[in-house]
Structure 1
Amino acid sequence: MVGSISRASKIALIAGAFLAASCSQQQNGPAEQRHEFNIGWSIYAGWMPWPYAQQAGIVKKWADKYGIKINIVQVNDYIESVNQYTAGKFDGVTAANMDALTIPAAGGKDTSAIIVGDYSNGNDGVLLKGADKISAIKGRQVYLVELSVSHYLLARALASSGLALKDVKTVNTSDADIVGAFASPDVTAAVAWNPQLSVMRGQAGAKQVFSSADIPGEILDLLVVDTATLKANPNLGKALAGIWYETVALMKRQDAKGKEARAAMAKLAGAKPEMFENQLSTTYLYSDPKAAVAATSSPALVTTMTRVRDFSFSKGLFKGASSADAVGMAFPGGKTLGDPGRVTLRFDDSYMKLAADGKL
């Protein structure tokens, strides 16, 4: 998973999200039917189908089918893309489950996750020097991007060995600096994501002792859309689902066309094809909509989001909230988590179901 932000910056953004969401609701009122929509994205292996689809004409094909226009817009900074969505600049954005919860949803912006695209299956990892077990991390300084999915992964890794966050000291480090920091002999523990993780793993004495592959399905990568906009414009959801599943089916092909699509995605990501293929190998793509629907309706998702929201609340990411229940979440089948009267994050599998049933 990708993304970078300091503790202070993220808390500031969340505070801004509360204000932006409040102002948006006051000024804009109910969403109306529209013709043109903007979807934000940032570079990550599991999100490269979106810009490729635009380049290859797949976006236009599905948008034309439903009589709309969709602009796929790159934002160089991942968290900034989510923040811009929260402020109303985008109608939808690519986001990890934790960030969808802690920025727009916690900020009061009613958001629907309409495509569960993939989960990190080794793209995020915990590294130690001079040890090959997670238990050896106790008492160490751990370098990572605080309050990101790396922080969440660290908490899960510690729990797997009977430890807690209080047993280590975290050192906030940007994703731009973490490779260089870990190269220092004094730094013996770190948490990172690809492509930085693969570089750090190659440093002398480094051992990966835990990864997102140990908690499959917990670090999810989504396409989220403003709920009111989606309700007023359901064709947007249909077009986006059509775009996604046509594109990932193409990129999964093991023939010349599939290889060509993946090479184009690598170029869009600024990576060599081999590097991009390596990142895809640790990204579990839900290329089959039936599998995505099953994952979204599984009780395991509720368990995952309970862990994510409890961690987020414990770190002060539900600013001003008195409990983790302050931010409500809704799941397929009518299941809710938190305050059912304040649901602002919805896992909506209806568009993925249309794709699974061949009804787009």
Structure 2
Amino acid sequence: MVIAVTRAGKVALLAGALFLASCSGAPDGPAEPRTEFNIGWSIYAGWMPWPYAQQAGIVKKWADKYGIKINVVQVNDYVESVNQYTAGKFDGVTVTNMDALTIPAAGGKDTSAIILGDYSNGNDGVVMKGPGSVSDLKGKQVNLVELSVSHYLLARAMGSAGLAPTDVRTINTSDADIVGAFTSPDVAAAVAWNPQLSVMKSQPGANLVFSSAQIPGEILDLLVVDTATLKANPNLGKALAGIWYETIALMQRQDETGEAARAAMAKLAGTTQETFESQLKTTYLYSEPQAAVEAVSSPTLMTNMKRVRDFSFSKGLFKGTSSADAIGMAFPGGKTLGDPQRVTLRFDESFMRLAADGKL
């Protein structure tokens, strides 16, 4: 059985998690220096370098350099991995920008995004049956995973055509059921991510009317770490950056070594190398640390995160708040979005910059 390389976008907040009114512009309380850390990951093409790095000894190499131990732990369910991180069971986790905001940050957990791994460059798309464009979605039902990056993508697509969210009716459909639903004659349109998207596009009459390639840099895949833990243990950030960029350089090689690395990643994901390679083509990897630093430092990131924030708030994903500004985000250069006294999501480029400067 071939297991799909997916990044489940379902949003499931921790039961009872509320934005903590007591959170401030700095992590609550000092964390203790430690020597062992746990990083959670789930299957997605852009995150497969992490388990491969562990298998290939790259994790141990960099952890040993800084006198620490790093356990890279797979969680089969993406949302569960983020919830476990939010509950403190992991020190860091692989997560999308939207889910980093709506789960740990909205739950009051001060979180730092230290590695910008990639953005979806066609991995997510809106598909309808028959000819037409986004404007022809008006009045139709659209199947998707509600309150996910698919829902966000649909909102961006509709906005590009001058449509309002109320111009369509969304039908909540799990990622496991979306392909089967699209084959039903009752379904006119759907939103999905790869590999489900590629299967749906191949069906007779399928028409891709909008994709994440049209909103580059808005659906981001990150590695985030608990801010207090990172502050008390900066060597963790250094080791993680070293692991990431050594592994990315290896998988980008167009020789037998690079091909072997990608084949191993595909196997770890439970899929074929052909499927894995095809998904990498619609995943824009920030393979060079300097490019990632520039992307995180660009004003465009703040613009995109404001879009994500406003959409998330409009869908009720900021529990216990009355304004989208209640949750603060910090960006390089001392810039903030939202309440600067309640920052719980930080885009920290410092470790990527060390990699770019060859100082790890």
In the superposition, the TM-score normalised over structure 2's length comes to 0.95
Question: Structure 2: which amino acid aligns with 1:92?
Answer: G
Does structure 1 residue 249 correspond to structure 2 residue 249?
yes
The residue that corresponds to 1:278 in the other structure is: 278
Q: Deviations over 1:45-70 (max 9, x none)?
A: 00000000000000000000000000
Give, in angstroms, the shift of residue 186 of structure 1. Answer: 1.2
Q: Which moved more, 1:349-358 or 1:133-142?
A: 133-142
What corresponds to 2:263 in structure 1?
263
Q: Does 1:17 align with 2:17?
A: yes
RMSD: 1.6
Distance (whole Å) between structure 2 residues aligned to residue 65 and residue 178 of structure 1: 45
DSSP 3-state at the match of 1:359: coil
Secondary structure, aligned partner of 1:53: helix
- 2:8 pairs, out of 3, 8, 17, with 3
Provide Cα deviations, 1:187-243, integer angstroms capped at 9, x if missing partner: 010000011110111112111100000000000000000000000000000000000
Specify the alignment match of 1:150 in structure 2: 150
User: Which residue identity lines up with residue 157 of structure 1 in the other structure?
Assistant: A
Q: What TM-score do you get using the length of structure 1 for normalisation?
A: 0.95
Secondary structure in 2 aligned to 1:339? coil
- Helix, strand or coil for the counterpart of 2:187? coil
Deviations 1:111-151 (A, max 9, x none): 00000000000000000001231111111100000000000
- The 2-side partners of 1:267 and 1:21 are apart by 45
Q: SS at the partner of 2:132? A: coil
1:299-345 deviation digits (Å, cap 9, x = unpaired): 00000000000000000000121110010000000000000000000
- Structure whose residues are more often helix by fraction: 1
Give secondary structure in 1 for the equivalent of 2:72.
strand
Secondary structure at 1:341 match in 2: coil
- Structure 2 match to 1:294: 294
Are the counterparts in 2 of residues 4 and 174 from structure 1 also a CA contact under 8 Å? Answer: no
Unaligned ranges ≥5, structure 1 = 23-27
For the 8 Å contact 1:119–1:220, the answer to whether it is kept is: yes
Counterpart secondary structure, 2:308: helix
Instruction: Identify the residue that residue 102 of structure 2 maps to in structure 1.
Output: 102
Contact 2:19–2:320 (8 Å) recurs in 1: no
1:16 CA drift (Å): 3.6
- The DSSP-based 3-state class of the residue aligned with 2:184 is coil
Residue 25 of structure 1 corresponds to which residue in structure 2?
A: none
- What does 1:1-360 align with in structure 2 at a 5 Å threshold? 2-5=7-10, 10=12, 13-18=13-18, 29-360=29-360
| Cα displacement (A) at 1:260 | 0.4
Aligned-residue identity in percent: 80
d(CA) in 1 for partners of 2:201 and 2:229?
Answer: 43
Q: Which amino acid is 1:5 matched to? A: K
| Paired residue type of 2:172 | N
How many residues are aligned here? 351
Aligned with 1:18: secondary structure?
Answer: coil
Runs of 4+ in 1 over 4 A off after TM superposition: 19-22
